Amino acid sequence: MSPFSLELGEDQLAVRDWLHGFAADVMRPAAAEWDEREETPWPIIQEAAKIGIYSLDFYAQQYFDPSGVGIPVAMEELFWGDAGLGLAIVGTTLAAVAVLANGTDEQIGTWAPQMFGTPDDVKVAAFCSSEPDAGSDVSALRTRAVYDEAKDEWVLNGTKTWATNGGIAAVHVVVATVDPALGARGQASFVVPPATPGLSQGQKFKKHGIRASHTAEVVLDNVRVPGHCLLGGKEKLDERLARARERAAGGGKTGSGAGKNAAMATFEASRPAVGAQAIGIARAAYEVALDYAKTRVQFGRPIIDNQGVAFTLADMRTRIDAARLLVWRASWMAANQQPFTAAEGSMSKLYAGETAKWVTAQAMQILGGNGFTREYPVERMHRDSAIYTIFEGTSEIQRLVIARTISGLPIR
Ligand SMILES: Cc1cc2nc3c(=O)[nH]c(=O)nc-3n(C[C@H](O)[C@H](O)[C@H](O)COP(=O)(O)OP(=O)(O)OC[C@H]3O[C@@H](n4cnc5c(N)ncnc54)[C@H](O)[C@@H]3O)c2cc1C
């Protein structure tokens, strides 16, 4: 087991500084433009690919860092640069994590590289779980996967919504129900390979924040994928379904809260990383506010000379550091196979998401009228931060998970 440490090693510091350089020199100058354009920033993703930041190798290296902090450090620096561009760069990793969490070694080797493409021909990937009537309640999803034994193919039908990179992705990972009667336990994840007929993009959403990241509906109309596209394989699925049916026959729960399912396995693995993204936004806004408070003069003195402003900055910094500690702890636990006995992953995402929203709101207040305009970046940071209490499990759902875990009770 790797000991928990707050000190980054030489290699980790070098990666952090390298990412910081990219965030400062490439992302920051481009952030406002792509926020206004609300389009996928392909040139920025390409630049990230050319120097190795957008690549399977890079994320695999950080993911397998035994200290656990490789991914959070990387996320914090990129999202310090800009959250919309950051999500455009790392959105693919959500689908990659779904394959890592649920796929066989062969499936990982086949699909993960195709999700990123090459520096000369970059691709993105999408993870499609949410549906119009199944957001927080993942067990309610209706997209069906039916096995066509004669052809060894799965047939997918349904509509996914709010998919990051949905419709523009080369590879889509789709969570579907194989046996609706089993609720969450009857679900499985499927890879939809590039250019598969029947998959199309529905509505593209216009958003409040992270506007450089593409979010859209994905329509699946008789999408046929080969049997080997079922993540984890059919044998494993059949065993799992048989266990779930036995449990259901014995009066066990099958619906929401019935235990781990394909979508939840992905979310569990990615929550601390999402918390780290929120910390990057919060730190960026805090830094702007601190500089501003030291230089903005009112009543003949810098505004930071007022306790009302200085104490707010003290609280901002304290919350950011506390959030980072929670994220690093959860990331270290995950990397070292420590069970989340108090839902530490959810705790980290909850606190970091709420911190980002609160800190960016305080930053706007400290910048006064300037904070409200697009001349200064805190307005964008505030808009971007708002998603961090919503996606990857809302703050309420994180509290629900924590409450159930610490109490052992089926709190609703
Ligand atoms: C920009 C963006 C990108 C996204 N990217 C993806 C993606 O790549 N892939 C994907 O699959 N999904 C994605 N999502 C979907 C996202 O995960 C969902 O929006 C989120 O899970 C919440 O679901 P919902 O919007 O349906 O809200 P609902 O579940 O309808 O919740 C509405 C409100 O009710 C509260 N609530 C619901 N149930 C309870 C309860 N039991 N107790 C207390 N409060 C409750 C919620 O906390 C929330 O405040 C994305 C969403 C957005 C906006």
392 belongs to the catalytic site: yes
Residue nearest to atom 27 of ligand 1 (CA): 135
206 pLDDT higher than 60: yes
Structural contact between residues 90 and 78, judged by C-beta atoms closer than 8 angstroms: yes
Mean pLDDT of the region 364-378? 98
pLDDT of residue 360: 99
Give CA–CA dist 79/83, Å, rounded.
5
Torsion angle of alpha carbons 38, 42, 43, 49, nearest 10°? 140
Question: Which backbone phi and psi does 225 adopt, to 5 degrees?
Answer: -125, 145
Q: Which residues is 218 bridged to in the sheet?
A: 160, 201
Could you tell me the distance, in angstroms and rounded to a whole number, from the CA of residue 138 to the centre of ligand 1?
A: 9
Mean of the per-residue pLDDT values of the chain: 95
pLDDT of residue 260: 52
Give CA–CA dist 259/271, Å, rounded.
17
Query: What percent of the chain has a predicted confidence (pLDDT) above 70?
Result: 95
Task: Give 259's pLDDT tier (boundaries 50, 70, 90).
Answer: very low
Mean pLDDT of the region 132-141? 95
Could you tell me the distance, in angstroms and rounded to a whole number, from the CA of residue 84 to the centre of ligand 1?
A: 19
Which residue out of 131, 344, 379, 392 is catalytically annotated? Answer: 392
pLDDT of residue 79: 98
Residue nearest to atom 14 of ligand 1 (CA): 162
256 pLDDT higher than 60: no
Residue nearest to atom 44 of ligand 1 (CA): 396
User: Among 394, 404, 412, which is best to mutate for testing ligand 1, by the most ligand atoms less than 8 A from CB?
Assistant: 394
Mean pLDDT of the region 98-121? 96
Mean pLDDT of the region 6-13? 95
User: Among 90, 136, 203, which is best to mutate for testing ligand 1, by the most ligand atoms less than 8 A from CB?
Assistant: 136
pLDDT of residue 257: 44
Could you tell me the distance, in angstroms and rounded to a whole number, from the CA of residue 152 to the centre of ligand 1?
A: 34
pLDDT of residue 248: 86
What residue ranges line ligand 1, CB within 6 angstroms? 94, 127-130, 135-136, 162-164, 207, 210, 215, 387, 390-392, 394, 396-397, 400
pLDDT of residue 252: 60
Residue keyed to tokens 């529905």:
202
Tell me: the pLDDT tens digits for 25-75? 999 999 999 999 999 999 999 999 999 999 999 999 999 899 999 999 999
Task: Give 265's pLDDT tier (boundaries 50, 70, 90).
Answer: low
Q: How many CB atoms lie within 10 A of CB 365?
A: 14
Residue nearest to atom 4 of ligand 1 (CA): 162
255 pLDDT higher than 60: no
pLDDT of residue 270: 80
pLDDT of residue 74: 98
pLDDT of residue 250: 80
253 pLDDT higher than 60: no
Mean pLDDT of the region 159-174? 98
Residues 6+ apart with CB under 8 A from 51: 22
124 pLDDT higher than 90: yes
Residue nearest to atom 43 of ligand 1 (CA): 396
pLDDT of residue 263: 59
Least confident of 97-101, 187-191, 195-199, 254-258: 254-258
Could you tell me the distance, in angstroms and rounded to a whole number, from the CA of residue 194 to the centre of ligand 1?
A: 27
Could you tell me the distance, in angstroms and rounded to a whole number, from the CA of residue 325 to the centre of ligand 1?
A: 26
Helix/strand/coil for 374: coil
pLDDT of residue 90: 97
Give CA–CA dist 343/176, Å, rounded.
26
Question: Which backbone phi and psi does 301 adopt, to 5 degrees?
Answer: -150, 155
Tell me: the pLDDT tens digits for 373-382? 999 999 999 9
pLDDT of residue 277: 98
